[in-house]
Amino acid sequence: MADHQRIHPVQEPEVVEPERPHKPTAPLVERGSSRSENGDDIVYFVFQPKIPKYSVDAMRITQFNLGNDNSLSATFNVNITARNPNKKIGIYYEGGSRLSVWYTGTKLCEGSLPKFYQGHRNTTLLSLTLAGQTQDAAGLLQSLQAQQQTGSIPLNLRARVPVRLKLWKLKLMKWKFLVRCRLVVDSLAADNVIRIRDSSCKFRFRL
């Protein structure tokens, strides 16, 4: 699935406050970085890292069909923007992340984020492919088709993302971002650009 993932970093301009001298930013590489398993709580309370902001920008469905065995196969291409608002803290996105799309309590497809480093005050564009198969889905598909007639289909996107924060050359312990997004789309037709009518996301930060 990683072959379908594309990362397009967009560097945002540094904001230099007049009353403070400008300091060079940490290199966007892991080499030479130190790791700390102690004092992370102190760092958290002193620097108060801000939770990254995520938005679902676009969605395209390349597969959404019911098989002869009544299993529903779904493949979603999702474009997500991740923004790190912190001035001095970078974010290492670790392996083991999980993203999934749900409809009324049923998981339609899932995937993961690639491993990458996001610098401070950086915006990263992610193109992800989520795929899945739901068994005994004839009733589910009928419900979706009826909902599609209204032009408003409610979906939920859930994400669990393990990360490490980087403060200068200090690499801190692993934490987790929990993301919940409520989406309303106009259609789930395959090979069609899906219009996102409404989107709202909530975030949690777990040590």
CA 140 vs CA 129, 145, 150, 177: distances in Å: 22, 9, 16, 30
pLDDT value of residue 42: 57
Flag whether 20 is in a domain. Answer: no
- Going by pLDDT thresholds of 50, 70 and 90, the confidence category of residue 43 is low
Q: Is residue 85 part of a domain?
A: yes
Which pLDDT value is given to residue 18? 47
- Asked, for residue 23, whether it belongs to a domain, the answer is no
Least confident of 72-76, 165-169, 180-184: 165-169
Q: Flag whether 21 is in a domain.
A: no
Identify whether the C-beta of residue 170 lies closer than 8 Å to the C-beta of residue 112.
no
Angle, vertex CA 53, rays to CA 180 and CA 2, nearest 5: 75
The parent domain of residue 128 ranges over 47-206
119 and 28 Cβ atoms separated by less than 8 Å: yes
Number of domains, the chain: 1
Is 37 inside any structural domain?
no
Average pLDDT over residues 141-159: 94
The angle subtended at Cα 2 by Cα 97 and Cα 202, nearest 5°, is 35
pLDDT at 123: 97
6 within domain boundaries: no
The better pLDDT of the pair 23, 26 is held by 23
Is the pLDDT at 146 greater than 90? The verdict is: yes
Confidence of residue 170 (pLDDT cuts 50, 70, 90): confident
| Domain contains 193 | yes
The answer as to whether 146 is a domain residue is: yes
135: left (phi over 0), alpha (psi -120 to 50) or beta: beta
User: Model pTM?
Assistant: 0.76
> Does residue 44 surpass a pLDDT of 90?
no
The better pLDDT of the pair 32, 81 is held by 81
CATH of the domain at 94: 2.60.40
Lowest average pLDDT, out of 41-50, 104-113, 130-139, 163-172, goes to 41-50
Alpha-carbon Rg of the chain, whole angstroms?
A: 20
* Amino acid letter, residue 11: Q
Amino acid at 175: W
In the predicted structure, residue 47 carries a pLDDT above the cut 70: no
